[in-house]
């Protein structure tokens, strides 16, 4: 539908920036496209966790965790229920 295809808003903290990104963009690509430096040691394969982000609001507006993402987050310290790997989630809503 038209609504589904509309750009979605991604608000970034603590830098107080908002990005409009195409629906279904992966978060890592959206961040890189806006010239933000994000480490991505594994090249976006969901295995290094250098792209770890925390979703403060709207977890349900992202695609669910993949099994690989789940496994990788299980290996790192500092992961919590808000944690996602930016390369493994896609934006479905604001």
Query: What whole-number distance in Å separates Cα of residue 61 and Cα of residue 58?
Result: 5
10 is an interface residue for ligand FES by CB under 6 A: no
| Alpha-carbon distances, residue 85 vs 2, 3, 53, 76, 88 (angstroms) | 28, 26, 6, 11, 5
42 is an interface residue for ligand FES by CB under 6 A: yes
31 is an interface residue for ligand FES by CB under 6 A: no
Count, residues in the chain = 94
55 is an interface residue for ligand FES by CB under 6 A: no
51 is an interface residue for ligand FES by CB under 6 A: yes
For ligand FES, the binding residues (CB under 6 A) are 40-42, 44-51, 85, 87
């Amino acid at each position: 539908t038209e609504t589904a295809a509309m750009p979605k808003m991604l608000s970034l903290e603590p830098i107080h920036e908002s990005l409009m990104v195409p629906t279904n963009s992966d978060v890592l690509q959206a961040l890189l496209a806006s010239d933000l430096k994000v480490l991505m040691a594994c090249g976006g394969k969901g295995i290094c966790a250098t792209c770890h982000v925390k979703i403060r609001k709207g977890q349900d507006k992202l695609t669910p965790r993949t099994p690989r993402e789940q496994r990788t987050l299980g290996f790192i310290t500092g992961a919590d229920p808000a944690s996602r790997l930016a390369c493994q989630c896609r934006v479905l809503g604001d």
